[in-house]
A and B are shown apart, each in its own frame.
Chain A
Amino acid sequence: MTDQELNPAAAAAPRAPRRRRVGRLSGRDKAVVAVLLGLPIVLDLAFIWGPALATVGLSFTKWNGVGGLSTKICQPNVPSILNNGCLYGVQNYHQAATIYPEFWPAVRHNLIWLAVFVFFATPLGMFFAVLIDRGIKGSRMYQSILFLPVMLSLALVGIIWEFMYSQNYGLINTVIGHNHNGNAIDWLGNPKLNLWSVLIEASWRQAGYVMVLYLAGLKAVDPQLREAALMDGTNAWQTFWKVVFPVMRPINIVVMVVTVIESLRAFDLVYITNKGINGLELLSVLVTSNIVGETQRVGFGSALGVILLVISLVPICAFLYLTFRRETQPKGAR
């Protein structure tokens, strides 16, 4: 921890000596520290860590949301209504991995989603950004058009694409003449097609998002670097890969994080499309479909939520590791 992090009140007390200890803070400083640090910590514990730990706890129980929890062990072969709120051990995890038919498809779809975002949507967004940054004619118009989907909520994106994909009345099938009942292409219902159809919707939006991030990054690249590269006789391709791209390293990390987060929290589009069933299963949807509703399988849904949490922790830990390492490096150099 650096002094500045430990002591946000330093800014409030101008000209404070750098090495001043906490014990020498005035009462007012302490109050400010307590409020500025304490309040976020309390809120964080109450609304992030509390529910997360409660979810972990609930994942070892069987509970339908009515009444309280007990410390009894669930009895085998008893109607579930009499087995409410009991301790269920790791049965929920076991069931998810063995007999729940949606589980493994959901894990696979989450990975496909991540791969498409990393290898398709992000490079596409980067490509758009580079094209627009080169100042082609009407670049502002292209920029607006490509960014437009980002302004819409994903739920709305889903509804817009329903009009494109609808079998009998959709734009795509009508244009290609496949809207008759004999030959209609079932874009959103065929489990072999619908994940890819929805990924096109998602990429349509994600590419615009990535484009804006890269545009900001490209604008920040010192033009002198390019001029120098040009003087050295590089072509446009070499300039980008050897000079511009490495300079954008901070932006690259931001884009990577955004991509991973967006693909793990994918939910809205598949939910709008078909409630996340029949080829569109995702872990986030399975959590929801078990916990939300009239008769809830809170324990089972919580177990799925914990699995999603563990998966999310992998990229989060990687990101934190990279970030903290970068922050400590300059300090070491000082």
Chain B
Amino acid sequence: MTSPRIPQNFQRPLARRGLLKGMGAAAAFATVPGALAACSSSKSSGSSSGNAGSATSPVTFGSNYSDASPKAAFAALCAAATAAGGPKVTINTVDHNTFQNNITSYLQGTPDDLFTWFAGYRMQYFAAQGLALPLDDVWAKIGGNFSASVKTLSTGLDGHQYFVPIYNYPWVVFYNKSHFAAKGYTVPTTWDDFITLCKKMKSDGIIPLAFADKDGWPALGTFDILNMRINGYDYHQKLMKHQVPWTDAGVTAVFDKWAELMPYLQTGANGRIWQDAAKALEQKQAGMMFQGTNQVAAQYVTDNANLDDLDFFPYPAINPTYGQDYMDAPTDGFMISKKAKNPAGAKAILEYIGTAAAESTFLKTDQWDVGVATGLQAPSYDAIQKSSVTAISNCKAVAQFMDRDADPAMATAMISIIQKFIDDPSTGNITSLQNSAEQQAKAIYTS
């Protein structure tokens, strides 16, 4: 189950319908928090039905969990929510590409009460447009189940919560334990060790790092991690919001380090899908691969490869100031649409989903993601999931992934820029690509 991050479907959302409907102006988002202050965090935690609708009448759930196994896991989750005293849930599953591409018109039309979505800027964007319902009263009840950083991830730009998370997954460097043992390789923790290991692998006739970027988004992860290792998390977030220009020396440093790594990355990445890169790792043609567990571990399961042999380590440290403090760990979860017919019932469902028990239910069939509730003891966790928990909890902060932290239009622009970098990582090209990125960022963010 991949999580396609970038608009990639040609089914056209009927965008102009929004025009015909003459819906409220965009400025309306500014008034949303005030209008809903009545049901915000100060509300007592007595009953869940204080709003329109009823906590017991049925709710509908728009879902993008369209692949078979997450679909089953999601159905089990909703059934458990009903069994735990929540209302009956009708799930409307839509293919995930279609779902993501149509989200704007979907939320402005007749949306389901609840919908599946992603944390970070992607959530904040729709919250700021006034298309999502603030969930401060839900968070008043479930807040104790989550760490402060998870709460931050669920908070919109206006300071209200709009999102209830369920799982995340780390972006780390994968390798096969047996392969490392047979060749006598050791896990690198610093950049120098990493490059030394890559050189050794190359001389052993192994591709040091399996690499693929045909879909465009996987290489954004490499940019994210290098940026966080070199310039730190705060810089990365500022860059994603275009508070730092793309022509900055920090960005040049990221591309320079990447250029240093290029000889050890699998060649022809722009023509390879990440599934084929994962196969190179499975077949031990490649020694390592940097990607999310949601992809690599899931692919091992799909291919019936030896999942027990798979292991990972956090990306090696580059700048000692930041060490291995940060990583990408995209979080998925749920929101309530502003036009929900039964917000009280929807909130009752989210109050259940925001518990460790609910996450355990979901994770019974999922062998690659990890729950985000604190103290979650999932009996079904495999070694990868257990290491994921440790790796994420060792971080001082986790980023969401470039297209969740940045405006998706900018992420789309960066996809082609990074592919051009992969084609030609020379210094001159880096400069012109940075200029191009900055010009587009100006057009997308500020003009």
Contact with B along A248-278 (1 / 0, CB 8 A): 0000000000000000000100010011011
Docked Cα-Cα span, A108 to B306, in Å, equals 47
Among A40-59, those with CB < 8 Å from B are 51, 54, 58
| Docked-complex contact A296 and B104, CB < 8 angstroms | yes
| Chain A min CB distance to B25 (Å) | 5
Closest B residue, CB atoms, query A191:
B423
Judged by a CB distance under 8 angstroms, whether B49 is at the interface is no
Which of A91, A188, A294 is in CB contact (< 8 Å) with B103?
A: A294
| Docked-complex contact B18 and A67, CB < 8 angstroms | yes
| Docked-complex contact A78 and B446, CB < 8 angstroms | yes
B122: A residues at CB distance < 8 A: 294
| Docked-complex contact A295 and B408, CB < 8 angstroms | yes
Quick check: which of A96-104, A109-117, A320-328 contacts chain B, the rest being far away? A96-104
Q: Identify 16 residue pairs between A and B in the complex whose beta-carbon atoms are under 8 Å apart, listed by A's number.
A: A67-B24, A80-B407, A80-B446, A85-B26, A100-B440, A101-B417, A168-B279, A169-B276, A186-B271, A189-B270, A277-B415, A278-B216, A288-B12, A292-B12, A293-B101, A295-B409
Q: A54-B19, A295-B409 are known; give 15 further A-B pairs, CB within 8 A.
A: A66-B104, A67-B23, A68-B18, A69-B19, A82-B27, A168-B272, A186-B270, A189-B269, A275-B6, A275-B8, A278-B216, A289-B412, A293-B100, A296-B13, A297-B409
Which of A64, A80, A278 is in CB contact (< 8 Å) with B447?
A: A80
| Chain A min CB distance to B407 (Å) | 6
Count of residues in A whose CB is under 8 Å from the partner chain: 59
Contact with B along A124-160 (1 / 0, CB 8 A): 0000000000000000000000000000000000000
| Docked-complex contact A277 and B419, CB < 8 angstroms | yes
B9: A residues at CB distance < 8 A: 292
| Docked-complex contact B12 and A190, CB < 8 angstroms | no
Judged by a CB distance under 8 angstroms, whether B56 is at the interface is no
Contact with A along B220-233 (1 / 0, CB 8 A): 00000000000000
The 10 closest A-B pairs by CB, nearest first: A189-B271, A293-B7, A189-B270, A186-B268, A67-B26, A84-B26, A186-B271, A99-B439, A278-B419, A188-B271
Which of B18, B270, B417 is in CB contact (< 8 Å) with A65?
A: B18
Give A residues with C-beta under 8 Å from B: 51, 54, 58, 64-70, 74, 76-85, 91, 95, 99-102, 165-169, 181-182, 184, 186-191, 194, 267, 271, 274-275, 277-278, 288-298
Judged by a CB distance under 8 angstroms, whether B15 is at the interface is yes
Among B269-296, those with CB < 8 Å from A are 269-272, 276, 279-280, 285
| Chain A min CB distance to B426 (Å) | 15
Closest B residue, CB atoms, query A278:
B419
Contact with A along B251-271 (1 / 0, CB 8 A): 000000000000000111111
Judged by a CB distance under 8 angstroms, whether B387 is at the interface is no
Q: A99-B439, A181-B266, A293-B101 are in contact. Are A275 and B446 (CB under 8 A)?
A: no
Judged by a CB distance under 8 angstroms, whether B88 is at the interface is no
Which of B11, B23, B408, B423 is in CB contact (< 8 Å) with A278?
A: B423
Docked Cα-Cα span, A191 to B269, in Å, equals 12
Among B321-370, those with CB < 8 Å from A are none
Interface on chain A toward B: helix, strand, loop, or mixed SS? loop
| Chain B min CB distance to A219 (Å) | 37
| Docked-complex contact B131 and A66, CB < 8 angstroms | yes
Docked Cα-Cα span, A333 to B36, in Å, equals 77
| Chain B min CB distance to A47 (Å) | 12
Judged by a CB distance under 8 angstroms, whether B146 is at the interface is no
Docked Cα-Cα span, A101 to B420, in Å, equals 11
| Chain B min CB distance to A85 (Å) | 6
| Docked-complex contact A181 and B285, CB < 8 angstroms | yes
A65: B residues at CB distance < 8 A: 13, 15, 18, 104-105
| Docked-complex contact B268 and A79, CB < 8 angstroms | no
Contact with A along B126-140 (1 / 0, CB 8 A): 001101000000000
A101: B residues at CB distance < 8 A: 416-417, 436, 440
Docked Cα-Cα span, A99 to B18, in Å, equals 29
Count of residues in B whose CB is under 8 Å from the partner chain: 63
| Docked-complex contact A267 and B276, CB < 8 angstroms | no
Which of A187, A297, A298 is in CB contact (< 8 Å) with B271?
A: A187
Judged by a CB distance under 8 angstroms, whether B28 is at the interface is yes
Number of A-B contacts (CB under 8 A): 172
| Docked-complex contact B216 and A275, CB < 8 angstroms | yes
Docked Cα-Cα span, A294 to B444, in Å, equals 14
Q: A67-B24, A181-B285, A293-B100 are in contact. Are A99 and B443 (CB under 8 A)?
A: yes
Q: A66-B131, A77-B447 are in contact. Are A296 and B15 (CB under 8 A)?
A: yes
| Docked-complex contact B270 and A190, CB < 8 angstroms | yes
Closest B residue, CB atoms, query A268:
B10
B27: A residues at CB distance < 8 A: 67, 82
Which of B22, B100, B271 is in CB contact (< 8 Å) with A194?
A: B271
| Docked-complex contact A189 and B268, CB < 8 angstroms | yes
B279: A residues at CB distance < 8 A: 168
| Chain B min CB distance to A153 (Å) | 12
A58: B residues at CB distance < 8 A: 16
Judged by a CB distance under 8 angstroms, whether B190 is at the interface is no
Docked Cα-Cα span, A95 to B23, in Å, equals 29
| Docked-complex contact A76 and B447, CB < 8 angstroms | yes
Docked Cα-Cα span, A64 to B23, in Å, equals 13
A67: B residues at CB distance < 8 A: 18, 23-28, 129
Docked Cα-Cα span, A80 to B436, in Å, equals 19
Q: A67-B18, A81-B26 are in contact. Are A190 and B271 (CB under 8 A)?
A: yes
Among B238-258, those with CB < 8 Å from A are none
Judged by a CB distance under 8 angstroms, whether B214 is at the interface is yes
B191: A residues at CB distance < 8 A: none
Docked Cα-Cα span, A54 to B14, in Å, equals 13
| Docked-complex contact A278 and B13, CB < 8 angstroms | no
| Docked-complex contact B128 and A292, CB < 8 angstroms | no
Docked Cα-Cα span, A317 to B100, in Å, equals 38
Judged by a CB distance under 8 angstroms, whether B125 is at the interface is yes
| Docked-complex contact A85 and B416, CB < 8 angstroms | no
A295: B residues at CB distance < 8 A: 104, 125, 407-409
Which of A85, A189, A293 is in CB contact (< 8 Å) with B214?
A: A189
Docked Cα-Cα span, A54 to B409, in Å, equals 23
A99: B residues at CB distance < 8 A: 436, 439-440, 443
Which of A82, A166, A294 is in CB contact (< 8 Å) with B408?
A: A294
| Chain B min CB distance to A261 (Å) | 18
Among B9-64, those with CB < 8 Å from A are 9-13, 15-16, 18-19, 22-28
| Chain A min CB distance to B239 (Å) | 16
Q: A67-B129, A102-B416 are in contact. Are A54 and B16 (CB under 8 A)?
A: yes
Judged by a CB distance under 8 angstroms, whether B185 is at the interface is no
Which of A84, A91, A182, A291 is in CB contact (< 8 Å) with B12?
A: A291
Q: A65-B18, A289-B7 are in contact. Are A80 and B416 (CB under 8 A)?
A: no
